Amino acid sequence: MATAEFGQAVRRWRDRVAPEAAGLPAGGHRRAPGLRREELALLAGISVDYVTRLEQGRASNPSVQVVEALARALRLAGAERAHLFRLAGLAPPGPDTMPALITPSVQRLLDRLTGTPVAVFDASGTLLLANPPYAALMGDPSGWRGHQRNAVWRHFVGPGGRTRHTPESLRAFEATLVSDLRAAADRYPADQRLGRLVAELRANSDRFAELWASGAVGRHEAARKIIDHPRVGPVTLDCDVLTVAGSELRIMVYTAEPGTEDAERLALLTVLGTQDLVG
Protein backbone atom coordinates (compact mmCIF):
# COMPACT_ATOMS: atom_id res chain seq x y z
CA MET A 1 0.00 0.00 0.00
CA ALA A 2 1.27 3.46 -0.85
CA THR A 3 2.15 5.42 2.28
CA ALA A 4 2.92 9.01 3.17
CA GLU A 5 6.59 8.07 2.85
CA PHE A 6 6.03 7.02 -0.77
CA GLY A 7 4.39 10.36 -1.54
CA GLN A 8 7.15 12.28 0.22
CA ALA A 9 9.79 10.45 -1.82
CA VAL A 10 8.00 11.23 -5.08
CA ARG A 11 7.75 14.91 -4.12
CA ARG A 12 11.40 15.06 -3.04
CA TRP A 13 12.66 13.49 -6.27
CA ARG A 14 10.28 15.64 -8.35
CA ASP A 15 11.84 18.77 -6.88
CA ARG A 16 15.31 17.79 -8.01
CA VAL A 17 14.51 17.09 -11.70
CA ALA A 18 15.20 20.18 -13.79
CA PRO A 19 12.52 20.73 -16.45
CA GLU A 20 15.09 21.25 -19.20
CA ALA A 21 16.67 17.89 -18.31
CA ALA A 22 13.30 16.30 -19.07
CA GLY A 23 12.92 18.10 -22.38
CA LEU A 24 10.43 20.62 -20.98
CA PRO A 25 10.56 24.45 -21.13
CA ALA A 26 11.93 26.01 -17.96
CA GLY A 27 10.24 29.39 -18.37
CA GLY A 28 7.59 30.94 -16.16
CA HIS A 29 7.45 31.50 -12.43
CA ARG A 30 8.25 28.40 -10.39
CA ARG A 31 7.85 28.04 -6.66
CA ALA A 32 10.32 25.12 -6.76
CA PRO A 33 13.22 24.41 -9.14
CA GLY A 34 12.00 20.97 -10.18
CA LEU A 35 9.02 19.56 -12.04
CA ARG A 36 5.46 20.69 -11.46
CA ARG A 37 2.90 17.97 -10.73
CA GLU A 38 1.40 18.54 -14.17
CA GLU A 39 4.79 17.97 -15.78
CA LEU A 40 5.47 14.80 -13.79
CA ALA A 41 2.03 13.48 -14.77
CA LEU A 42 2.71 14.26 -18.41
CA LEU A 43 6.10 12.53 -18.37
CA ALA A 44 4.76 9.48 -16.51
CA GLY A 45 1.60 9.17 -18.60
CA ILE A 46 -0.76 9.32 -15.63
CA SER A 47 -3.32 11.90 -14.49
CA VAL A 48 -2.45 14.97 -12.44
CA ASP A 49 -5.12 13.99 -9.91
CA TYR A 50 -3.48 10.59 -9.40
CA VAL A 51 -0.04 12.17 -8.88
CA THR A 52 -1.61 14.53 -6.33
CA ARG A 53 -3.29 11.70 -4.44
CA LEU A 54 -0.08 9.66 -4.43
CA GLU A 55 1.97 12.54 -3.09
CA GLN A 56 -0.61 13.23 -0.39
CA GLY A 57 -0.78 9.56 0.61
CA ARG A 58 -4.44 9.29 -0.43
CA ALA A 59 -3.96 6.67 -3.19
CA SER A 60 -3.25 3.08 -2.27
CA ASN A 61 -1.75 0.14 -4.12
CA PRO A 62 -0.11 1.79 -7.15
CA SER A 63 0.55 -0.80 -9.83
CA VAL A 64 3.96 -1.95 -11.00
CA GLN A 65 3.38 -0.02 -14.23
CA VAL A 66 2.62 3.21 -12.37
CA VAL A 67 5.67 2.93 -10.10
CA GLU A 68 7.85 2.09 -13.10
CA ALA A 69 6.47 5.09 -14.99
CA LEU A 70 7.16 7.41 -12.04
CA ALA A 71 10.68 6.02 -11.68
CA ARG A 72 11.35 6.75 -15.35
CA ALA A 73 9.91 10.26 -15.18
CA LEU A 74 11.92 11.01 -12.04
CA ARG A 75 15.12 9.67 -13.65
CA LEU A 76 15.58 7.02 -10.96
CA ALA A 77 17.87 4.05 -11.43
CA GLY A 78 19.52 1.39 -9.32
CA ALA A 79 19.00 1.71 -5.57
CA GLU A 80 16.60 4.67 -5.81
CA ARG A 81 14.33 2.85 -8.25
CA ALA A 82 14.32 -0.26 -6.04
CA HIS A 83 13.58 1.93 -3.00
CA LEU A 84 10.53 3.47 -4.70
CA PHE A 85 9.16 -0.01 -5.41
CA ARG A 86 9.64 -1.04 -1.79
CA LEU A 87 7.93 2.13 -0.54
CA ALA A 88 4.96 1.17 -2.73
CA GLY A 89 4.87 -2.26 -1.13
CA LEU A 90 6.14 -3.93 -4.30
CA ALA A 91 9.17 -6.09 -4.92
CA PRO A 92 11.59 -4.51 -7.42
CA PRO A 93 11.49 -6.33 -10.77
CA GLY A 94 13.91 -9.26 -10.78
CA PRO A 95 15.89 -10.95 -13.56
CA ASP A 96 12.95 -13.21 -14.45
CA THR A 97 10.72 -10.19 -15.09
CA MET A 98 10.38 -8.65 -18.52
CA PRO A 99 12.56 -5.49 -18.67
CA ALA A 100 10.79 -2.15 -18.49
CA LEU A 101 13.65 0.16 -17.56
CA ILE A 102 14.28 3.04 -19.94
CA THR A 103 17.95 3.90 -19.73
CA PRO A 104 19.08 7.53 -19.32
CA SER A 105 20.55 7.54 -22.83
CA VAL A 106 17.26 6.42 -24.39
CA GLN A 107 15.39 8.94 -22.24
CA ARG A 108 17.65 11.74 -23.50
CA LEU A 109 16.97 10.66 -27.07
CA LEU A 110 13.21 10.83 -26.49
CA ASP A 111 13.49 14.20 -24.75
CA ARG A 112 14.94 15.67 -27.93
CA LEU A 113 12.27 14.34 -30.28
CA THR A 114 9.82 16.96 -29.10
CA GLY A 115 7.98 17.39 -32.43
CA THR A 116 7.83 13.72 -33.43
CA PRO A 117 5.29 11.16 -32.16
CA VAL A 118 7.32 8.57 -30.24
CA ALA A 119 6.33 5.81 -27.85
CA VAL A 120 8.25 3.09 -26.03
CA PHE A 121 6.82 -0.39 -25.50
CA ASP A 122 8.12 -3.43 -23.66
CA ALA A 123 8.39 -6.83 -25.35
CA SER A 124 4.75 -7.67 -24.60
CA GLY A 125 3.44 -4.54 -26.29
CA THR A 126 2.71 -2.64 -23.08
CA LEU A 127 3.10 1.12 -23.42
CA LEU A 128 5.83 2.40 -21.11
CA LEU A 129 6.20 5.96 -22.29
CA ALA A 130 4.49 8.21 -24.85
CA ASN A 131 5.55 11.75 -25.62
CA PRO A 132 2.92 14.49 -26.10
CA PRO A 133 2.92 14.31 -29.94
CA TYR A 134 2.22 10.56 -29.76
CA ALA A 135 -0.60 11.14 -27.27
CA ALA A 136 -2.03 13.80 -29.59
CA LEU A 137 -1.86 11.42 -32.56
CA MET A 138 -3.08 8.18 -31.00
CA GLY A 139 -5.05 9.32 -27.94
CA ASP A 140 -4.06 10.39 -24.43
CA PRO A 141 -2.92 7.28 -22.48
CA SER A 142 -2.74 8.97 -19.07
CA GLY A 143 -5.98 7.35 -17.92
CA TRP A 144 -5.10 3.86 -19.11
CA ARG A 145 -4.47 1.32 -16.36
CA GLY A 146 -3.29 -2.28 -16.30
CA HIS A 147 -4.07 -4.22 -19.47
CA GLN A 148 -5.47 -1.07 -21.07
CA ARG A 149 -1.87 0.00 -21.72
CA ASN A 150 -1.13 -3.15 -23.70
CA ALA A 151 -1.45 -2.89 -27.50
CA VAL A 152 -2.49 -6.55 -27.87
CA TRP A 153 -5.26 -6.16 -25.28
CA ARG A 154 -6.48 -2.90 -26.76
CA HIS A 155 -6.74 -4.46 -30.21
CA PHE A 156 -8.40 -7.76 -29.36
CA VAL A 157 -10.44 -6.84 -26.26
CA GLY A 158 -10.42 -3.08 -25.83
CA PRO A 159 -11.46 -0.14 -27.99
CA GLY A 160 -8.87 -0.66 -30.72
CA GLY A 161 -6.85 2.14 -32.21
CA ARG A 162 -6.92 4.85 -34.86
CA THR A 163 -4.91 3.04 -37.52
CA ARG A 164 -6.87 2.25 -40.68
CA HIS A 165 -6.51 -1.35 -41.92
CA THR A 166 -7.25 -3.29 -45.06
CA PRO A 167 -8.25 -6.94 -44.55
CA GLU A 168 -4.74 -7.97 -45.57
CA SER A 169 -2.94 -5.48 -43.32
CA LEU A 170 -5.23 -6.40 -40.42
CA ARG A 171 -4.31 -10.08 -40.70
CA ALA A 172 -0.61 -9.24 -40.80
CA PHE A 173 -0.94 -6.84 -37.87
CA GLU A 174 -2.76 -9.37 -35.70
CA ALA A 175 -0.22 -12.09 -36.53
CA THR A 176 2.61 -9.76 -35.51
CA LEU A 177 0.95 -8.86 -32.20
CA VAL A 178 0.39 -12.50 -31.27
CA SER A 179 3.83 -13.61 -32.45
CA ASP A 180 5.59 -10.91 -30.43
CA LEU A 181 3.60 -11.76 -27.31
CA ARG A 182 4.34 -15.48 -27.67
CA ALA A 183 8.06 -14.75 -28.03
CA ALA A 184 8.00 -12.61 -24.88
CA ALA A 185 6.13 -15.32 -22.96
CA ASP A 186 8.71 -17.89 -24.07
CA ARG A 187 11.60 -15.69 -22.89
CA TYR A 188 10.01 -14.79 -19.55
CA PRO A 189 7.96 -17.82 -18.42
CA ALA A 190 8.22 -16.76 -14.76
CA ASP A 191 6.77 -13.28 -15.34
CA GLN A 192 3.39 -13.54 -13.61
CA ARG A 193 1.98 -10.31 -15.08
CA LEU A 194 2.78 -11.53 -18.58
CA GLY A 195 1.22 -14.92 -17.85
CA ARG A 196 -1.98 -13.29 -16.60
CA LEU A 197 -2.16 -11.12 -19.71
CA VAL A 198 -1.97 -14.13 -22.04
CA ALA A 199 -4.50 -16.11 -20.02
CA GLU A 200 -7.00 -13.25 -19.96
CA LEU A 201 -6.57 -12.57 -23.68
CA ARG A 202 -7.29 -16.22 -24.47
CA ALA A 203 -10.35 -16.12 -22.23
CA ASN A 204 -11.75 -12.85 -23.59
CA SER A 205 -10.96 -12.93 -27.31
CA ASP A 206 -11.86 -15.84 -29.59
CA ARG A 207 -9.76 -14.30 -32.36
CA PHE A 208 -6.68 -14.07 -30.14
CA ALA A 209 -7.21 -17.62 -28.87
CA GLU A 210 -7.46 -18.85 -32.46
CA LEU A 211 -4.23 -17.13 -33.51
CA TRP A 212 -2.42 -18.22 -30.34
CA ALA A 213 -3.37 -21.84 -30.92
CA SER A 214 -2.43 -21.70 -34.61
CA GLY A 215 1.13 -20.56 -33.93
CA ALA A 216 0.68 -17.43 -36.04
CA VAL A 217 3.97 -15.83 -37.03
CA GLY A 218 4.60 -12.21 -37.97
CA ARG A 219 7.21 -9.52 -37.57
CA HIS A 220 7.34 -5.74 -37.35
CA GLU A 221 8.32 -3.98 -40.53
CA ALA A 222 8.55 -0.34 -41.52
CA ALA A 223 5.18 0.60 -42.96
CA ARG A 224 3.12 3.53 -44.16
CA LYS A 225 -0.02 3.88 -42.06
CA ILE A 226 -3.16 5.97 -42.24
CA ILE A 227 -4.22 7.32 -38.86
CA ASP A 228 -7.85 8.46 -38.69
CA HIS A 229 -7.61 11.40 -36.33
CA PRO A 230 -10.93 12.72 -34.92
CA ARG A 231 -9.92 16.38 -35.25
CA VAL A 232 -7.76 16.76 -38.35
CA GLY A 233 -8.88 13.77 -40.41
CA PRO A 234 -6.75 11.04 -41.99
CA VAL A 235 -2.97 11.42 -41.71
CA THR A 236 -0.62 9.18 -43.71
CA LEU A 237 2.62 8.57 -41.85
CA ASP A 238 5.68 6.35 -41.98
CA CYS A 239 5.91 4.09 -38.92
CA ASP A 240 9.26 2.64 -37.87
CA VAL A 241 9.83 0.32 -34.92
CA LEU A 242 13.35 0.51 -33.48
CA THR A 243 14.80 -2.04 -31.06
CA VAL A 244 17.18 -0.86 -28.35
CA ALA A 245 20.32 -2.99 -28.40
CA GLY A 246 20.76 -4.99 -25.21
CA SER A 247 17.17 -4.58 -24.05
CA GLU A 248 13.64 -5.64 -24.94
CA LEU A 249 12.40 -2.11 -25.58
CA ARG A 250 10.72 -1.13 -28.86
CA ILE A 251 10.63 2.52 -29.90
CA MET A 252 7.79 3.38 -32.29
CA VAL A 253 8.33 6.52 -34.35
CA TYR A 254 5.85 8.24 -36.69
CA THR A 255 7.08 10.71 -39.32
CA ALA A 256 5.53 12.55 -42.26
CA GLU A 257 7.12 13.33 -45.60
CA PRO A 258 8.25 16.99 -45.45
CA GLY A 259 6.25 19.52 -47.43
CA THR A 260 3.12 17.38 -47.68
CA GLU A 261 -0.40 17.94 -46.43
CA ASP A 262 0.19 15.06 -44.02
CA ALA A 263 3.14 16.93 -42.50
CA GLU A 264 0.92 19.98 -42.02
CA ARG A 265 -1.81 17.89 -40.40
CA LEU A 266 0.69 16.21 -38.10
CA ALA A 267 2.06 19.59 -37.01
CA LEU A 268 -1.47 20.87 -36.40
CA LEU A 269 -2.70 17.91 -34.36
CA THR A 270 0.52 17.94 -32.35
CA VAL A 271 -0.07 21.58 -31.37
CA LEU A 272 -3.78 21.02 -30.67
CA GLY A 273 -3.18 17.83 -28.72
CA THR A 274 -0.33 19.23 -26.68
CA GLN A 275 -2.49 22.19 -25.68
CA ASP A 276 -5.21 19.79 -24.56
CA LEU A 277 -2.73 17.77 -22.50
CA VAL A 278 -1.08 20.61 -20.65
CA GLY A 279 -3.85 23.18 -20.61
pLDDT in tens, 236-271: 999 999 988 777 899 999 999 999 999 999 999 988
Q: Which of 254, 248, 252, 249 is nearest to 269 (CA)?
A: 254
**Which strands, in side-by-side order, build the sheet including 118-121?**
127-130, 118-121, 250-255, 233-243, 223-229
- Quick one: what percent of the chain has pLDDT higher than 90? 45
CATH superfamily, domain at 4-87 = lambda repressor-like DNA-binding domains (1.10.260.40)
**Residue 146 pLDDT level (bands cut at 50, 70, 90):** confident
Question: What's the CA gap between 83 and 89, in Å, rounded?
Answer: 10
Length of the chain measured in residues: 279
pLDDT of residue 278: 43
Report the mean per-residue pLDDT for the chain.
87
- Whether residue 132 has pLDDT greater than 80: yes
Cβ-defined contacts of 102-109 (< 8 Å, 24+):
102/72, 102/128, 102/129, 102/249, 103/244, 103/247, 104/75, 104/77, 106/244, 106/249, 106/251, 107/72, 107/75
Residue type, 149: R
Q: Please tell me which residue, 17 or 203, carries the higher pLDDT value.
A: 203
**Residue 26 pLDDT level (bands cut at 50, 70, 90):** low
Class of domain 104-278: alpha beta
Which range among 23-27, 73-77, 114-118 shows the weakest confidence by mean pLDDT?
A: 23-27
> Interior CA angle at 71 toward 68 and 73, to 5°?
110
> Interior CA angle at 222 toward 199 and 145, to 5°?
35
Which range among 4-8, 77-81, 181-185 shows the weakest confidence by mean pLDDT?
A: 77-81
Question: What's the CA gap between 133 and 114, in Å, rounded?
Answer: 7
pLDDT of residue 176: 92
Q: What are phi and psi of 265, to 5 degrees?
A: -65, -40
pLDDT in tens, 52-104: 999 998 887 888 888 988 998 898 877 888 899 989 988 777 777 888 888 77
Question: What's the CA gap between 266 and 225, in Å, rounded?
Answer: 13
- The total of other beta-carbon atoms located within 10 Å of residue 5's CB is 11
Residue type, 145: R
Helix (H, G, I), strand (E, B) or coil at 18: coil
Question: What's the CA gap between 262 and 132, in Å, rounded?
Answer: 18
Domain ranges within the chain, ordered by starting residue: 4-87, 104-278
The residue-averaged pLDDT of 114-134 equals 90
Q: Are 153 and 193 in contact (CB under 8 A)?
A: no
Which range among 140-144, 237-241, 272-276 shows the weakest confidence by mean pLDDT?
A: 272-276
Question: What's the CA gap between 122 and 169, in Å, rounded?
Answer: 23
Total-model pTM: 0.74
- What are the percentages of helix, strand and coil residues in the chain, rounded to 5? 50, 15, 35
